[in-house]
Structure 1
Amino acid sequence: MAPERPANRRRVSHSLEAVVDAAVALLDESGEAALTFRALAARLGGGVGSIYWYVSNKDELLDRATDRVLTGVLTQIQSVDDTEGPIDNIRTIAVTLFAAIAERPWLAAYFLRNTTIQANGLVFYERLGEEVMRLNLSPRRTFHTVSAVLGYVIGVAADLGQDPPAEVLDGSVPAEDYLRTIADQWRALDPTDFPFMHYIVDEFDGHEDIDQFRAGLELLLDGIRLEAGLSR
């Protein structure tokens, strides 16, 4: 619970924008665990109590930080309009959100969690939904299609955006060497017991995450085309 605000105490001169920007910076640097009111107050100057002038608790702060990041996402998709087909626009919106979450994995857990605070999240959801509506699906199919796109983008981006192993993070092992080590472990498996692993191991070895994401997205978009009765 937030501490009671003393009536005779002067507020430290921050602003809600400064508080949220500092929260985003802390999240980007060290993740959610690093975002405490004490750390935020130390960065901004002033006491912990001064933060409570602007947000009631950490949940609200996380929701506002998420909404701040989504401002940039909305800016990037402003060029999406009905001069392009809906499938192309869905792809553009999906790739833009993927890039934002891959850069900031913490975003995945809070996206659309509280649309009362996250006005930008609500606008993003609406914008994607409007593109899907152009496919003339039923309300249920439209809802499921939007949910499938968001679920794929958020899930893959959060997974690929995780911190790499310590030896890759500290630079002692190049990322491609680490990936090859895993691939070699798979190659050593008995092909009778692990036929799938042997079948795809050369594709896994040296693959690019963005290519993996885009390939999966195209499979999903092909399914949406089929559902809408569109030709490729």
Structure 2
Amino acid sequence: MFDPTATETLPCGGMGAVTSQPTRPAARRRRASHSLESVLTEAVAILDDGGGSALTFRALAARLGGGVGSIYWYVSSRDELLDRAADFAMADVVTAIEPVATDDPIDDIRTIAIATFDAIVDRPWLGAYLMRDTVVQTNSLQIYEKIGQNVMRLGLTPREAFHATSAVVGFVIGTAADMGQELPEAVLSGELDRDIYLARAAQQWRDLDPDQFPFIHYIVEEFAVHQDVEQFCAGLELILAGLKLQAAG
């Protein structure tokens, strides 16, 4: 259940060095004085501060101290800039999960999924751009590959492995993006804290017609006290339990 006031995160994630290569410039383009890493570092900073709408070539050039034209040395469009910035933000996850290798593939999938979730949940903009273009998003592709390699260890068919890996990745990215949505202004301003905001939302659910919303009334007391990270972990365990059953069959 989406909780727009959630602030819990898991202890992993962050920004690191980019692993992808800059786009080849046109023949007459003069080389910029900054680097792809500096471009993406500032792009991520803008996205962290203001979300996807805040990242423009003009805003980025102002932070870099150069002209808008210099950015085109590294990216050909705003979409490519967003894709590369999102991938850049996942570099530390790739480093963190590289040594993950135990005797239990389910445990390894869990570890990688939690590390990926943690990197996304604190950045409301990030989930919308991950895995959009795996040609340039090499970090995202490596995370998908790492999960997939562990799914392969379960002995599933190619179709089953594809569906299973996609289910894990889709759940992680979708849930993290949902839980990381921008907080309501009343919470951001300090007018309301999380507990009060959640209590008000729960009361609105209690006030619904129980004949029309029997499920809402059935779970509303759980919603009133839930923690988002606990909810994410419970959902992940359901997926992993299904993988175990499929592998055993």
TM-score normalised by L of structure 2: 0.85
Residue by residue, what CA displacement relative to the aligned partner does 1:94-123 show, whole Å, maximum 9, x if unpaired?
Answer: 111111111123222221221221122222
SS for the counterpart of 1:53 is coil
User: Where does 1:46-57 land on structure 2 (aligned, <5 Å)?
Assistant: 46-57=66-77
Structure 1 or 2, whichever has the larger Rg, is 1
Provide structure 1 residue ranges, at least 5 long, that are not aligned to the other structure.
none
- Which residue pairs with 1:76 in the alignment? 96
1:219 to 1:6, Cα distance in 2 relative to 1, 3 A? closer
Shift of 1:30: 0.8
Structure 2 letter corresponding to 1:15: S
Residue 247 of structure 2 corresponds to: 228
Q: Distance in 1 between matches of 2:215 and 2:30?
A: 66
Residue 39 (structure 1) aligned to one of 51, 59, 66: 59
Q: How far apart, CA to CA, are the structure 1 residues paired with 2:145 and 2:30?
A: 41
Partners of 1:47 and 1:193 in 2: CA distance: 58
Pairwise CA distance, 1:193: 3.0
- The TM-score normalised by the length of structure 1 is 0.91
* Alpha-carbon offset, residue 145 of structure 1: 0.3
The C-alpha deviation readout for 1:39-82, integer Å capped at 9, x for no partner, is: 0010010111121122111111112112212211111212310x
Return the alpha-carbon distance in structure 2 between the equivalents of residues 119 and 49 of structure 1: 25
Alignment CA distance shift 1:6-1:193 (3 Å)? closer
Q: Extract structure 1 runs of 4+ deviating beyond 3 A.
A: 4-7, 9-12
Q: Secondary structure at the match of 2:135?
A: coil
Q: Distance in 2 between matches of 1:84 and 1:25?
A: 39
1:30 maps to what in 2?
50
Report Cα offsets for 1:132-186 as digits up to 9, x if no partner: 0000001100000001111111111111110121111211111110110011122
- Identify unmatched segments of 5+ residues in structure 2: 1-24
Deviation at 1:191, TM superposition (A): 2.6
Which of 79, 93, 96 is the aligned partner of 2:115? 96
Counterparts of 1:69 and 1:224, CA distance in 2: 29
Once residues 210 and 30 of structure 2 are traced to their aligned partners in structure 1, the CA distance between those partners, rounded to angstroms, is: 71
Deviates more, 1:11-20 or 1:39-48: 11-20
| Pairs within 5 Å for 1:108-119 | 108-119=127-138
More helix by share: 1
- 1:159 aligns with 178
Counterpart of 1:213 in structure 2 is: 232
Distance of aligned partners of 1:49 and 1:182 in 2 relative to their CA distance in 1, 3 Å threshold: same
Alignment root-mean-square deviation, CA: 1.8
Who is 1:123 aligned against? 142
